[in-house]
Structure 1
Amino acid sequence: MTIFDPIRILLIDDEESIRRLAEKEFSDMRRTVRTAGSAHEAFDLIRQQQFDVIVLDIRLPDADGLELLERLRETLPDVEVILITGHGNIDSAVEAMKIGAYDYITKPFALDRLELVIEKAYQRVRLQRENRLLRHTQSDQSSPRFIGSSLAIQHIQYLISKVAPTDVPVLITGESGAGKDVVARAIHSASKRNDHPLIIKNCGTMQKELIRSELFGYCKGAFTGATESQEGLLALAHLGTLFLDEIGELPLEVQASLLRVLENQTYRRVGDKQERQVDVRFLFATNRNLVEEVKAGRFHEALFHRINVFQLDLPPLRQRKEDIPLLVEYFLGQLSVGKSPYRISKNVMEHLLAYHWPGNVRELRNVMERGTILSENGVITAQALPREIAEQEPTSTTNSSFLSLRDIEKRHIQQVMEHAAGNRSQAADLLGISRKTLYRKLKEYGLE
C-alpha cells in the first residue's frame, strides 16, 4: 500500500534564488515542492494542503525561527522540520533540535546533503504515521469477500461495483452481524483510493467527551492532559477512506461538525483557530433506523440527508438461507488453514438451515469456530452446536423447501457458474473457494 507518495515538501526561505533552486532540483515523480518567502505565506499553504517535511530558514522577515518552529510543531505534529541556518546561528539551531527540529543544515549547503536529510526525515514521518494507522486499520483488508450467490447478494455486489469508483458517501444499513464492515472494505478495495488508508472506527466505542478530539485532532493545551498536539482520524484518512461504524451513536454536537466536513472538506482541530482541508471519502454504517432517529431528534436531519446519498441495505441471514452452505464452507476453509480440513455432518446443516440466526453472519462464523473446537476427527456433529441451535427442530431433507446438503451445494455451484458465464476464476471468487476446489467439485457433481 503506497500510503504517502510522493513526498510533500514545503521550503520556507526569504531568498528567492534558494526557493527557485529547490523547486527545480527536488521536484520529480517522488517529490512535490511548494515554497514560501515568509511565515505568513507558509501558513496560507499549510491551510490548503498537507506536508511531510518542512525546510525552514531560521531567519525570516516576519518571524523568529525558534518561535515559528514551535508553532509548526503544534500545527503539524506529524511533520518533520529541517532548519537552514548560517554559521553564526548554530547555537540557535542546536536549541531548535532540543524543541523538536529533525536536523539542521548550514549555509552554503550542498543539494545532495539536503536531499539525504529530507529522505531520512520522511522515513521517520512515514514510520510514525504507519504505526498510528495500524491502530485504526484491520490487517485483513487485501481481499474482502462478500460470500453468497443468492439474488440479494448478487444485487449487493452489483451496487458495490457501481458505487465504489465514485467518491459519494455510502450509508450501509442492516442488522448487527450482517456484514456491514465487509461491504465497507469491499467498496474501498474497488475504489480509486485503494492505495491509501482505510480508517475504521466504531462510534459506539469512543468516549463521548473525547469523540471530537479523536475525530478532528487537538492542539497542545486544548484541554487538561493535552500535553502535545495530535492529529485525528480525518488527517489519518487523508486521500483514503474513513469508515464510521454505528454512526447513530455520534453525539448531536459532533454530528454538526461532521456535516461541515462532508459539505466542504474542511475542519478544525480542538483548540485550533485555523481551518484545515482534507480529502476523504466517507462510508457510514448503522443498525438503527435513522429516519426514526431524526424524527425523535436524536440524529441531525441535514447530516442524514448528506450521508444518505447512496444506501446499501444488507438482508439478514434468515432471508438468504440459501447462502448458508457457501458461508459454512468459506468459514471452515478459513479455520482449517494449516490443519486438516473440517467437515460437518448432514444433520448439522439441517439444524443450521432451520435456525433463524439473530446474530447473522457473525453468529454463524462463531458457531463454526466453536464446532471446530468440539469436532471429533475433523467432523462437526450436532453435539458441537450451541444448545439453541441443536434444540431447533431440524428441517427434513424431504421437505420441498430444502434439499440435501449435496444437492444444495450442486445447485449453488450451477447457479454461480451460470451467473459467471462459465468463467471458473470468477465463479471461484464468488463462491469463496479456490479454483482447485471448484474444479474438484465440478468433476464430483458432473458439471464439467
Structure 2
Amino acid sequence: MSENKAKILLLEDDSSLGLLLSEELELDGYRVTRAGTVEEACRLLSADTPDLVVSDLRLPDGDGLELLKAAQMNGHSLPFIVITAFGTVDQAVDALKAGADDFLTKPLSTDHLRLKIHRLLTQADLTRQLEQFLSQSGTDETLGLIGEHESMVRLRSEIRQIARSEAAVLICGESGTGKELVARAIHGSSERSSGPFVAVNCAGIPGELMESEFFGHEAGAFTGARQARKGLFSEAHGGTLLLDEIGEMPLALQAKLLRVLQEGMVKPVGSDHEEPVDVRILAATHMDLPKAVQDGSFREDLYYRLETLSLRIPALRERGDDVDLLAMHFIREAARRHKRGFLKISEVTSRVLMDYPFPGNVRELASAIERAVTFCEGDTVQPDHLPERIRKRQGGAVNLQSARPDDNISEWPTLEHLQQDYVREVMHAVNGNKRRAAQILGINRRTLYRWLASSEPVSDGSGGPGSEYPDAGTPQGVH
C-alpha cells in the first residue's frame, strides 16, 4: 500500500474542524471519509475498511472508543488515533489500554497529526511486510533475508545469480551485517543445497592447527594425533564451505587454499597422497582486503581468485526503514522465546532506533531488542527498555568532544550554539526540507521555524537572509 493512497476515516462532530482536517490530509494525498457520529462511522467502517482512523473522543451519540471496539469486534486491527479537547491522563491511559495507538489533545497541530499518521501508516505497512516475509521465510522470494530496502533487493538478486555458478565467492561487510546468512542463502539457492554446509571462523583456530583442521591428518602425523581425522574440506564434500574472516588466515595456508581452488585436491597432514574434494568455497571478511594485499598480509593471487564474484552486504545504517522491519521481527522472536504475548513498539522507541547508527549492525539491533523484551513489563517496548547507549544516541551526529577545542572550560560552546549547529547540520542533510527536518529533530515545524529565526541566517550566495533553506510551507495549527 502506498501511504499517499491510504484511506483515512475521520470521526469529528465539529463540522468546521472536520472539514479543515480532511482538506489538510487530502493535500498530503490521503483519501479521507468523514463522519459526525459513532453510528455513521460504524456504518462506513463496515462498508469499506480504512487504513487508519482519527476519532474525536466525545461525540453526540457516544465516544470514539466505541468505534475502536466495533473495529476490533469485526477483526480489524487498524491504526487508531484519539483526539479530544478534554484530555486527561486517565482518558489517555484508558484509550491506550483499549487499543488506541495515540492520544492527542486540542489545540491540535496539523503538523503533529500528519507526523503521527505517517508514522503509524509506515509501521502498519512494515508489519504487513513482516507478515509476508515470515510466510515466505526460506522461500525463493526472500532467501531468508529480511529487508525491503533497495540495497537488500539488489543483494537478493545478486545471490540468485551467483548461486548458479560454481566459482568461489567473496562476501564483504561490516561485523554483524549477516555474512553467514548470505552464505547460507547462496548455498540454499544452489544445486548444492542438498549437500552439507560447513562454516568455520578462521580467526577462531590457532595457526598451528589450521592446516590439520582444514585438510585433516593421518594417525601419528604429530604429537597427539592418535588416529586419522577428516578435515573440513572433506566434511563439506559435495556441498559448500564458508571460510569466515578469511583475512585472518596465515599466508602459508593461503597458498595451499589457492591450490585447492585451482586443483580441487587436498593433502592431509602426514600423508603422501592428495585426495579429490568437490567443495564450493565462500569466503567472508570485514577487513579491507585490497589494503591487506598492499601490506603483504594477504596474497594478491588469492584475492583476485576470490574477488571475481563478490558481494557487499550493506550496513544497517544504510538500510532506512529496514531497522523498523527487523526490530519487529526480533521482538516477535524474543517474545516467543520468553513466552510473552503480542508486543508492539512505541513510536518514540522506533524513532530512537532509527536515529541510532548501529555500529554493530543487525547483531547489535537483535541484542538490543532481546534486552528490551526482557525488561518490558507491559505490551509496548519503550525507549527505557533499550540499552543506555542507544537511548542517549551516543552514535549521533553531534560530536561533543570535537566541539571542545581544548580543556579551557570557559571556551566550551553553549547549549544554544550546539543546538544551532545541529539544526543547521540536519537542514543541510535534508536539503532544506523543513518538514523532514522537523521529523528528524522530533519537533513540529512551528518550533523549527522559531529555532531557525533565532539563529543567524545562512546565505546561499544570493544575498537573501536564510535563503539556504527553501520554504516548505507555513506551519498551521488548529484550535
- TM-score normalised to the size of structure 2? 0.53
Q: For 2:346 and 2:292, how far apart are their aligned partners in 1?
A: 45
Amino acid at match of 1:233: L
Counterpart position of 1:270: 269
1:96-245 equivalences in 2 (<5 Å): 145-245=144-244
Q: For 2:438 and 2:364, how far apart are their aligned partners in 1?
A: 21
Q: For 1:386 and 1:307, how far apart are their aligned partners in 2?
A: 39
Counterpart position of 1:376: 377
Structure 1 residue 226 displacement after superposition: 0.4
Counterpart position of 2:127: none
Counterpart position of 1:351: 352
Amino acid at match of 2:186: I
Q: For 1:248 and 1:276, how far apart are their aligned partners in 2?
A: 26
Q: For 2:283 and 2:334, how far apart are their aligned partners in 1?
A: 29
Structure 1 residue 321 displacement after superposition: 2.4
**Equivalent pair of 1:370/1:384 in contact (CA under 8 Å):** yes
Q: For 1:376 and 1:343, how far apart are their aligned partners in 2?
A: 12
- The 3-state SS of whatever aligns with 2:148 is coil
Structure 1 residue 147 displacement after superposition: 1.2
**Equivalent pair of 2:203/2:245 in contact (CA under 8 Å):** yes
Structure 1 residue 315 displacement after superposition: 1.3
Q: For 1:292 and 1:336, how far apart are their aligned partners in 2?
A: 43
Q: For 1:162 and 1:340, how far apart are their aligned partners in 2?
A: 40
Structure 1 residue 402 displacement after superposition: 8.8
Structure 1 residue 142 displacement after superposition: 6.3
- The 3-state SS of whatever aligns with 1:230 is coil
Q: For 1:203 and 1:164, how far apart are their aligned partners in 2?
A: 23
Q: For 2:307 and 2:188, how far apart are their aligned partners in 1?
A: 21
Cα deviation code 1:217-246 (max 9, x no counterpart): 000111000000000000000000000100
Amino acid at match of 2:344: R
- The 3-state SS of whatever aligns with 1:336 is helix
- The 3-state SS of whatever aligns with 1:373 is helix
CA RMSD of aligned residues (A): 2.1
Counterpart position of 1:261: 260
- The 3-state SS of whatever aligns with 2:371 is helix
Counterpart position of 1:362: 363
Q: For 1:382 and 1:155, how far apart are their aligned partners in 2?
A: 32
Amino acid at match of 1:158: S
Counterpart position of 2:436: 400
- TM-score normalised to the size of structure 1? 0.56
Amino acid at match of 1:370: R
Kindly indicate whether residue 318 of structure 2 is the aligned counterpart of residue 319 of structure 1: yes
Amino acid at match of 1:200: A
Cα deviation code 1:149-179 (max 9, x no counterpart): 1111111011011111221111000100011
Amino acid at match of 1:272: S
Q: For 2:200 and 2:252, how far apart are their aligned partners in 1?
A: 18
Q: For 1:291 and 1:375, how far apart are their aligned partners in 2?
A: 45
Q: What number of residue pairs does the alignment pair up? A: 263
* % identical aligned pairs: 38
Q: For 2:253 and 2:438, how far apart are their aligned partners in 1?
A: 49
Q: 1:142 to 1:353 in 2, by over 3 A?
A: closer
Kindly indicate whether residue 298 of structure 2 is the aligned counterpart of residue 299 of structure 1: yes
**Equivalent pair of 1:372/1:378 in contact (CA under 8 Å):** no
**Equivalent pair of 1:198/1:240 in contact (CA under 8 Å):** yes
Cα deviation code 1:172-212 (max 9, x no counterpart): 00100011111001111111011011000010101111000
